[in-house]
Amino acid sequence: MGSAHPNVHVPKESWPRWTWFALEFGIVLAVSMLVSREITNSIEELTPELQNYVFMGIVGLIFLAWYIVIRGFVLKKKILRNSY
């Protein structure tokens, strides 16, 4: 009978951990862009240049609010953490 090799690598998780961060990033970015679009469209009398600044400003605020305020203080999950 064959014996098991001592150098077999068994991962801790079957799903790669970085994909959860990428999925969260995509969801936060998509939601912030949709919310920003609705807010920017509701503000009347903005030039197209000013609409771009307002749109990206709102996207940035929602993005930073999620990663710094909500995730950092409320959920208390560090973005870069050694958990091995």
List per-residue pLDDT tens for the chain, 84 residues long. Answer: 555 666 666 566 567 778 888 998 999 999 999 999 999 999 988 899 999 999 999 999 999 998 888 887 777 766 666 554
d(CA 77, CA 80): 9
Residue pair 40/51 in contact by the 8 Å Cβ criterion: yes
Query: Domain limits of the chain?
Result: 17-74
Whether pTM > 0.75 for this model: the answer is: no
